[in-house]
Chains A and B, each alone.
Chain A
Amino acid sequence: MLIQQIINGLTLGATYALIALGYTMVYGIIQLINFAHGDIFMIGAFIGVAAASIFFHNFFLILIAAMLACTVLGVTIERVAYRPLRRANRLNALISTIGVSIFLETFMTVFKGPQPIGFPHVLNNATYRLGHTEFSSIQIIILLVSILLMVGLQGIVRYTKTGKAMRAASEDYDTASLMGININRVISFTFAIGSALAAAGGVLVGIYFNSVDPYMGVMVGLKAFVAAVLGGIGNIPGAMLGGMILGLAEVFGVAAGFSSYKDAIAFTLLIVILLVRPTGLLGRPLQRKV
Chain B
Amino acid sequence: MKKFRVAIILISVLLVAALAAGCGSKPSGQSGAGGNAASGGDTIKIGFMGALTGSEASYGIETLKGMNMAAGDLNKAGGVLGKKIEIVQSDHGSQLSQAAAVVQKMISQNHVVAIVGDPTTGKTKLAAPICQQNKVVMLSAGAVGPGVVEIGDYIFRDTLLDSVAAPAVTKYLVNDLGWKKVALVTSTNNDYSVGLTKIFEKALADNKATIVDRESIQDGDKDFSAQVTKIKQSNPDGIIFTGYYTEGGLFMKEVRRQGMNLKMAGGDGMLSPVLWKLGGQAVEGSMVYTGFAADPANAAPQTKEFIKKYQAANDNKLPDMFSAQGYDAVMLLARAMKDANSIDPSKFKDTLAQTKDYKGVSGNITFLPNREPVKSPVYLLEVKNQQFAIKKVIPTAAPTE
Contact = CB atoms under 8 A, between A and B. Distances in A.
A and B touch in the complex (CB under 8 A): yes
Contact of B229 (A1, A113, A115, A250): A1
Contacts of B259: 127, 129, 134
A125 B281 CA distance: 13
B53 A106 contact: yes
Contact of A117 (B225, B258, B277, B280): B277
B215 A259 contact: yes
Interface centre among B53, B58, B225, B257 (most CB of A within 10 A): B225
Interface string A210-226: 11010110011000000
Interface in B235-286: 246, 249-250, 253, 257-259, 274, 277-278, 280
A60 interface: no
Contact of A210 (B216, B229, B233, B278): B278
Contacts of B230: 255
Interface in A228-287: 250-252, 254-255, 259-260, 262-263
Residue picked from B188, B220, B229, B274, most chain A C-beta under 10 Å: B229
A136 B222 contact: no
Nearest to B274: A115
A211 B250 contact: yes
Interface in B9-59: 53-55, 57-58
Given A114-B57, A211-B222, A259 B217 contact: yes
A36 interface: no
Contacts, number: 91
Interface string B192-217: 00000000000000000000000111
B227 A260 contact: no
Contacts of B246: 115-116, 211, 213
A152 interface: no
Contacts of B223: 8, 12, 209, 250-251
A259 B274 contact: no
Nearest to A219: B220
Interface string A112-148: 0111111000000101010000101000000000000
Given A211-B278, A262-B218, A134 B227 contact: no
B257 A136 contact: yes
A210 B253 contact: yes
B56 to A, nearest CB: 8
A53 interface: no
Nearest to B51: A114
Interface residues of B, number: 32
A34 interface: no
A255 B280 CA distance: 26
A118 B229 contact: no
A185 B226 CA distance: 43
29 contacts: A1-B229, A1-B233, A5-B226, A8-B223, A8-B225, A8-B226, A9-B226, A12-B223, A109-B53, A115-B58, A115-B274, A116-B277, A117-B277, A118-B280, A127-B257, A209-B222, A211-B222, A215-B55, A219-B220, A250-B223, A251-B223, A251-B226, A254-B227, A255-B226, A259-B217, A259-B227, A260-B188, A260-B218, A263-B218
Closest 7 CB pairs of A and B: A8-B225, A114-B57, A254-B226, A260-B188, A209-B222, A260-B216, A259-B216
Interface of A: 1, 4-5, 8-9, 11-12, 106, 109-110, 113-118, 125, 127, 129, 134, 136, 205, 209-211, 213, 215-216, 219-220, 250-252, 254-255, 259-260, 262-263
Interface of B: 53-55, 57-58, 61, 188, 215-218, 220-223, 225-227, 229-230, 233, 246, 249-250, 253, 257-259, 274, 277-278, 280
Given A114-B61, A211-B278, 20 more contacts: A4-B258, A5-B229, A8-B223, A9-B226, A106-B53, A114-B53, A114-B54, A114-B57, A116-B274, A118-B280, A134-B258, A209-B250, A215-B220, A216-B222, A250-B223, A251-B225, A252-B226, A259-B218, A259-B226, A259-B227
